Structure 1
Amino acid sequence: MKIAITGTHRVGKTTLAEKLHESFPNYDYYTEPYFELEEAGYIFPEIPTADDYLVQLEYSIKQIVQSDRNAIFDRCPIDLLAYIQATDTSQNLSSLFSKVQNMIDEIDLIVFVPIEVPDLISCSESDLPELRYQVNDILYDLISDFDIKTIEVKGSLSERIHQIQNKIHQIQS
């Protein structure tokens, strides 16, 4: 089973993905494309552009296509599509949407981590709070455009893990 964690920045995706991997240690774990690209030498500006998100989108797609067994992905192409849409309204998203749509069947479950009310994780000005909320809103729309099993998780880390475990058992039954 391939599981992709999706959500805007500063909602706890990485913490959730790492904890989920502890629950399913036989799954491969793929870190967020941003960090893998940065480690490989890609230099991101302080405020990434639509082109930077496009590079991450391509890398995310590559991660998913190249994985051949159970996997947990800390970030999803749908996230990156939302960031591209939020940072460049002139961008033609139809070809990117089609590219994501063509590979989305590789994913068995999307775990959507939205911004909760009240917001559980504070976001300083340097963390681009306006972009964060904009991407969160776009994600609600985008996720419904894809025909894929999705679970929206909320609450504490342990509550989120429990919700995902229940969904996985439901899918596998």
Structure 2
Amino acid sequence: MRIAVSGTHRAGKSTLIDELSEQLPTYVTVDEPYHQLEEEGHEFPQPPSVEDFEAQLARSIANLEDAPRDVLFDRCPVDFIGYLLAHEDSDAFDVEAWLPRVREAVQGLDLIVLVGIERPDRISCSVSDDNDLRVAVDEKLKELLLDGAYAFDVEVLEVEGSLSARAKQVLAHLSSSRRD
């Protein structure tokens, strides 16, 4: 299965991917586009610009096109749509121009696991984590993935609880999907 783990920053995505990687040893893990681009020399300002998020969006689409069958993606294109729609310069982003490519890429996923901000919040944040943006992106991702704002037509599993509870929810979902 091709699984993306999505969510705002400081929500527990990467930690969940690490746990799932241990539980699913045959799966390949694809790092998030931010880290891939950084390793290639891209320097991101803080906060990243619209163009920086568009570069991550393009990389995320390319990652989906190039990946094998059993894979865990740290983020998917919808994450970057969420960041771009929540960005202070969101008017500079043409979501309609990107939607056909994003929809096509997301169709290559079997499942998106959404890791949202819980109440109370399980993750402590520092001032540098830009909690206002974090919350805004969390809300956008829930609109996009749970409310179907742009009809991405992909199965979404929202997980919650401790790390082990989240991993168990994903593994139980995978097990039931295999039986269907």
Instruction: Report the TM range for the smaller structure's normalisation.
Output: over 0.9
Moved more, 141-150 or 34-43: 141-150
* Alignment counterpart, residue 128 of structure 2, candidates 117, 122, 126: 126
Alpha-carbon separation, structure 2, partners of 1:122 and 1:89: 27
* 1:24-55 deviation digits (Å, cap 9, x = unpaired): 11111101111111011111112111111110
Compute the displacement of 1:162 (Å): 0.2
Alpha-carbon separation, structure 1, partners of 2:15 and 2:23: 13
Moved more, 142-151 or 157-166: 142-151
Match of 2:90 in 1: 89
Moved more, 96-105 or 110-119: 96-105
TM-score (norm 2): 0.93
Unmatched segments (≥5 aa) in structure 1: none
One-letter code aligned to 1:135: V
Unmatched segments (≥5 aa) in structure 2: none
Runs of 4+ aligned structure 1 residues displaced above 2 Å come to none
CA contact (8 A) 2:77 2:102 kept: yes
Give me the identity figure in percent: 41
Aligned residue for 1:106, secondary structure, equals coil
Compute the displacement of 1:105 (Å): 1.0
Aligned residue for 2:120, secondary structure, equals coil
One-letter code aligned to 2:23: S
TM-score (norm 1): 0.97
RMSD between aligned residues: 0.9
Match of 1:149 in 2: 155
Match of 2:165 in 1: 159
Aligned length: 173
CA contact (8 A) 2:116 2:160 kept: yes
